[in-house]
Amino acid sequence: MEQRVVEELRQIVGIENLWRGEPMSRHTTWKVGGAADVYITPREEHLTAVVQLCRKREIPFYMIGNGSNLLVGDKGIRGVVIDMSKHVDHLTVSGHRVVAGAGALLSRVANLAADNRLTGLEFASGIPGTVGGAVVMNAGAYGGEMKDIVRSVKVLDREGNELTVEADDLQLGYRTSCIPEKGYLIREVILDMRFGNSEAIRERMNELRRQRAEKQPVEFPSAGSTFKRPEGEYAGKLIMEAGLAGHLIGGAQVSEKHCGFIVNRGAATAADIRALIEYVQAEVERQFSVTLEPEVRFLGEF
Ligand SMILES: Cc1cc2nc3c(=O)[nH]c(=O)nc-3n(C[C@H](O)[C@H](O)[C@H](O)COP(=O)(O)OP(=O)(O)OC[C@H]3O[C@@H](n4cnc5c(N)ncnc54)[C@H](O)[C@@H]3O)c2cc1C
């Protein structure tokens, strides 16, 4: 990227919020991924100017949250990565409404909701993503999903215009929304929750965390469930029945504790993980004629 453009970006976000050649392995929970040409951690008031500059200079740009559902290629990302998780994380509660900067971590939002006797986000307290990333993915677990509580989102479109989009217009479905397709960049999420019993809310959160620790390979870097649940089946069960528990490619392994997870055993590359994803898909297809669709998002060059 031209030095002139980097300087212009630096003037917008400040010298302390821009890095060149930043390894994305530092910003993904799989701990893999090559360098982004430019990686920025803007404040909310700088987002519009960043988007408008990237448009004007024809530089590709990508918004990320906590990188907990992302496989970034080993050759990195050409363009600008906008990390929302560092500074766009304001959080307020008013009555039964929670307003959160897109980069606020779900665990923090769930805790604040619980402090205010608000129920509806217990399912998400152990999901290691941001609230913005959770809306994009319509994250869900244990019978709950973001769709149940999102009222609206404030977004920038690809030209940098500010819009408010109601939940009904986000096409929130099983681990999907129309946000990537529309090119929306979420700045803020508005949740409508219900009043409940503080103790019951805390108890449920603790119980779900216990279940995660017991059933999921939380001791290794991962991106959670690698695949979506195929209709009428469980991806992890099919992978186990295909005899793939513990299968290794390079440093990537099908978790023995939960076959739905691919974990980084220490020195995995994105290429290892991608090769293992493709191998698992091919084996499950061959043995059971079931197509596994990745839940994780691929970003950058492989
Ligand atoms: C141990 C573990 C357990 C998990 N358990 C669950 C679970 O139970 N249920 C579940 O649904 N998921 C789970 N996940 C996956 C993941 O945490 C969720 O999908 C989460 O919502 C992703 O949020 P994120 O902020 O990390 O998004 P990222 O991974 O950073 O991004 C995901 C996608 O959203 C886009 N995006 C992110 N923020 C924005 C924004 N502000 N505006 C526009 N686009 C944006 C990115 O470009 C990317 O396409 C788990 C992951 C791990 C590592």
User: What CATH number does residue 272 fall under?
Assistant: 3.90.78.10
Tell whether 226 is covered by a domain. Answer: no
Per-residue pLDDT averaged across 234-248, rounded?
Answer: 98
Taking 90 as the threshold, does the pLDDT of residue 268 lie above it?
yes
- Per-residue HEC secondary structure of the chain comes to CCHHHHHHHHHHHCHHHEEEEEEHHHCCCCCCCCEEEEEECCCHHHHHHHHHHHHHHCCCEEEECCCCCEEECCCEEEEEEEECCCCCCCEEEECCEEEEECCCEHHHHHHHHHHCCEECCHHHCCCCCEHHHHHHHCCEECCEEHHHCEEEEEEECCCCCEEEEEHHHCCCECCECCHHHHCCEEEEEEEECEECCHHHHHHHHHHHHHHHHHHCCCCCCCCCECECCCCCCCHHHHHHHCCCCCCEECCEEECCCCCCEEEECCCCCHHHHHHHHHHHHHHHHHHHCCCCCECCEEECEC
175 a catalytic residue: yes
Q: Is 81 in the pocket of ligand 1 (CB under 6 A)?
A: no
Q: Specify whether 138 is located in the same domain as 165.
A: yes
State whether 61 and 106 are in the same domain.
no
| pLDDT score for 158 | 86
Average pLDDT, the chain: 97
> Within this chain, do residues 263 and 282 fall inside the same structural domain, yes or no?
yes
Is the pLDDT reported for residue 250 higher than 90?
yes
- The single-letter code of the amino acid at 124 is A
Domain end residue (candidates: 59, 83, 107): 83
Q: What is the pLDDT of residues 22-53, one digit of tens each?
A: 999 999 999 999 999 999 999 999 999 999 99
The response to whether residue 104 sits with its C-beta less than 6 Å from ligand 1 reads no
Question: From ligand 1's centre to the CA of 98, what distance in Å?
Answer: 19
What is the number of the ligand 1 atom nearest to the C-alpha of 216? 1
Rounded Cα distance, 128 and 114, in Å:
17
Token duo for residue 17: 């919020």
Q: What percent of the chain has pLDDT over 90?
A: 99
Task: Judge if the beta carbon of residue 28 lies within 6 A of ligand 1.
Answer: no
Q: Which domain holds residue 74?
A: 3-83
By most ligand atoms within 8 Å of CB, the mutation choice from 62, 136, 157, 298 for ligand 1 is 136
Q: Is 222 in the pocket of ligand 1 (CB under 6 A)?
A: yes
Closest CA to 132 of 122, 120, 124: 124
What is the average pLDDT across 234-243?
98
CATH number assigned to the domain comprising residue 130: 3.30.465.10
pLDDT tens track for 115-150? 999 999 999 999 999 999 999 999 999 999 999 999
Of the listed 225, 229, 255, 274, which one is catalytic? 225
Span 273-300, pLDDT tens digits = 999 999 999 999 999 999 999 999 999 9
Q: Which two tokens stand for residue 102?
A: 């897109």
Q: Render pLDDT for 171-200 as a digit per residue (tens, 0 to 9).
A: 999 999 999 999 999 999 999 999 999 999
What is the DSSP pairing of strand 248-249 with strand 252-254?
Answer: antiparallel
Active site residue 295: yes
Q: Is 137 in the pocket of ligand 1 (CB under 6 A)?
A: yes
Substitution site in 44, 68, 149, 172 for ligand 1 pocket (most atoms within 8 Å of beta carbon): 68
pLDDT score of 159 more than 90: no
- Is there a domain that residue 230 lies in? no
DSSP β-bridge partners for residue 92:
99
For residue 141, the ligand 1 atom closest to its alpha carbon is 8
- pTM beyond 0.85: the answer is yes
Annotated catalytic residue 209: no
In a domain, 223, yes or no: no
Answer whether residue 222 is part of any domain. Answer: no
Mean pLDDT, to the nearest integer, of 69-79? 98
Question: pLDDT class for 19, splitting at 50, 70, 90?
Answer: very high
